[in-house]
Amino acid sequence: MTTFELQTTSPEETMEFAERLGRELSPGDVLTLEGDLGAGKTTFTKGLGRGLGVTRTINSPTFTIIKQYKGRMPFYHMDVYRLEDSDEDLGFEEFFEGEGVTVVEWAHFIEEYLPEQRLAIQIKYVDDEKRTIMLEASSQHFEEVCKELGR
Ligand code: ADP
Ligand code: MG
């Protein structure tokens, strides 16, 4: 398993890193985002969107759970926080197995629906402006993506 870790010192830096990651992604990629409220999951997602060529503003989908954007491929942004106490299946597999890139905030709440091959991202609050971002690749494809980010 390949891991990659870095520390950012501003929201902009988090977005820039996520943008670089977004440029390396391929159709069907699934990314999970974990971290406390305010850690920077949505901020990270905004950067991913940029790297995927999304021009629309990306906002938190807390109340809609799934938002779809058009970039160089479809981009699905999920926030499944509200599903904490339910095991509702909103047709996740259709997204995970589709031609787009999917990012899931609070992914552990839908653990049973997640594909095995994914890039697990964890964001940890260090202080007001500092965050530690950890990536964990569980497939060769994502290992290569991580290697590319380290270059
Ligand atoms: P989450 O989706 O995890 O609840 P958000 O992305 O909505 O978190 O909020 C993160 C907040 O933290 C934003 O207000 C953002 O400006 C702020 N912030 C400060 N420093 C950073 C950093 N280094 N990376 C990401 N966000 C940061
Ligand atoms: Mg969020």
- Which CATH number characterizes residue 109's domain? 3.40.50.300
Q: What are the phi and psi torsion angles at 110 (to 5°)?
A: -125, 30
| pTM to 2 decimal places | 0.97
Average pLDDT over residues 41-46: 98
Average pLDDT in the chain:
95
Pocket test for ligand 1, best of 21, 43, 103 (most atoms within 8 A of CB): 43
Domain tally, the chain: 1
Does ligand 1 lie within 6 Å of residue 118's CB atom?
no
Nearest to 146 by CA among 9, 31, 27, 10: 31
Domain that holds residue 94: 2-149
pLDDT given for residue 64 in this prediction = 86
ipTM for the whole complex = 0.99
Kindly provide the residue ranges of all beta strands, DSSP E only, lying in 29-138, ordered along the sequence. Answer: 30-34, 66-70, 74-79, 101-105, 119-127, 130-137
User: Looking at the predicted structure, is the pLDDT value of residue 85 above 90?
Assistant: no
Question: What pLDDT, on a 0 to 100 scale, did the predictor assign at position 114?
Answer: 95
Distance 98 CA to ligand 2 centre (A): 23
